[in-house]
Structure 1
Amino acid sequence: MLLLDDREVMLSRLTDQHLRTIAVLESDRENNFRKYRIQHPFLGSLHYYDWFRRLAAHDTRHANQLREIVKMYKIS
């Protein structure tokens, strides 16, 4: 389990995952991802681009939550 002291490791892993996700998106120059759909438990059938948008929004939400925690506890 990663601890707060491992933030460089966590940031590195997150950055690596983001770069891999971007590479996947950039590889789809012909918009083929719109052809594939996956069922979301609450939102129904979503194509891959919808999933990528949701993933980005999810990450942004957590980043904002972390900023609030840092501000609240004045963590540096």
Structure 2
Amino acid sequence: MNNQDLQTLDQLIDQLISQNNQLKEQVLALKEQNQKLIDENETLQLEVLESEEKQKEFSSSLSGLLDKLQAQQVG
């Protein structure tokens, strides 16, 4: 291996190290983004559960009122 080959190899290694560092940064950024999306998803799922519970309560109350109205009409 001559001096020119060593210089070329050194340049290629530097490029690979640089690309590797960029990819590590991208992976870190994607992991952070993924965690934010997981957190947001969990929040939205909780909001849906709360909304479903409120809807059930409302439906139950409405059903009770309709029963009262029907009983009033029959009586």
TM range, normalised to the smaller chain?
A: 0.3 to 0.5
**Larger relative contact order, structure 1 or 2 (CA cutoff 8 Å, min sep 6):** 1
Greater Cα radius of gyration, structure 1 or 2: 2
More helix by share: 2
More strand by share: 1
